[in-house]
Amino acid sequence: MKKLVLALSLALQAAAWAQAEPSPVSPAGVPVKDYPWQALPGETNEAMERKGDRKRGERLYALCRSCHLASAGGSPDGAIPRLAGQHSSVLIKQMADIRSGARHNPAMYPFAAVLADPQDLADLAAHLEGLCLQAEHGRYDAADAEQQVAVGRALYDQACRTCHGPNGEGVRHKGYPVLAGQHHRYLLRQMTEIRDGRRPNAHREMIAVSGSHNDDQLLAIAAYQSSLLPPGKVCEAKAPNRKR
């Protein structure tokens, strides 16, 4: 009997290790073939496997500047997201999802659609990931900010931190987005859309956990997230818009 228990527990442990095995990583540092959490279409996988050329990405970014701005900082009113410093894995998936229609974005669709091939996505992602975060962005700064941030922090630590990280830094090789330094109005809109089924390309677990939060709670979480800035990724005052 003892032997059977031992054999069983060893088998269970082996299964747990097999699951914890990291997915193979491409030259660009992003997963090869499917994400651990979602099967990806061919184009997305192909872009993830390419090594991005930052210089070429910077040139291609001319297409995007009119909305996302030269700094890739987006707009504090939350209409346009900040892209600077986002993980390349997230950027590639979102661009490919937007052009395949998996994420509905009619304003940007024509611009995503003209990108010729997966190498364009890899190059743009390499350029954008290398840009630093602006310390000045759309934080929540209403009179009750301190209280909202405290409430949001508790909720975030409970339901979101395991994936999005203690500083909102996300997880690059899993495609979990950086939330730190993002405009709070954009975060709030995305969380509401994910919760309400209007952004179906999101992570299933993410959709499920956001479902247990009401609008007030999401506002508090957005206030907290936008107060985070991950160390080492923020632009020095007056430095060029580069991490290095």
Binding site for ligand HEC (CB under 6 A): 63-64, 66-68, 80-81, 83, 91, 93-95, 105, 107-108, 111-112, 115, 124, 159-160, 162-164, 175-177, 179, 187, 189-191, 201-203, 205-206, 209-210, 213, 221
- Nearest distance from residue 70's CB to ligand HEC, in Å? 12
- Nearest distance from residue 78's CB to ligand HEC, in Å? 8
- Nearest distance from residue 238's CB to ligand HEC, in Å? 26
- Nearest distance from residue 188's CB to ligand HEC, in Å? 8
CA torsion through residues 230, 232, 236, 240, sign: negative
Q: Are 225 and 187 in contact (CB under 8 A)?
A: yes
Picking from 124, 127, 218, 122, the residue whose alpha carbon sits closest to that of residue 179 is 218
Quick one: 67 or 234, whose CB is closer to ligand HEC?
67
- Nearest distance from residue 19's CB to ligand HEC, in Å? 15
Quick one: 100 or 201, whose CB is closer to ligand HEC?
201
Quick one: 105 or 241, whose CB is closer to ligand HEC?
105
Picking from 101, 177, 189, the residue whose alpha carbon sits closest to that of residue 168 is 177
Quick one: 8 or 25, whose CB is closer to ligand HEC?
25
Tokens, residue 225 = 């997230």
Picking from 100, 85, 84, the residue whose alpha carbon sits closest to that of residue 47 is 100
List of residues 6+ apart from 30 with CB closer than 8 A? 48, 87, 88, 89, 92, 172, 173, 175
Picking from 145, 135, 128, 124, the residue whose alpha carbon sits closest to that of residue 230 is 135
Quick one: 9 or 162, whose CB is closer to ligand HEC?
162
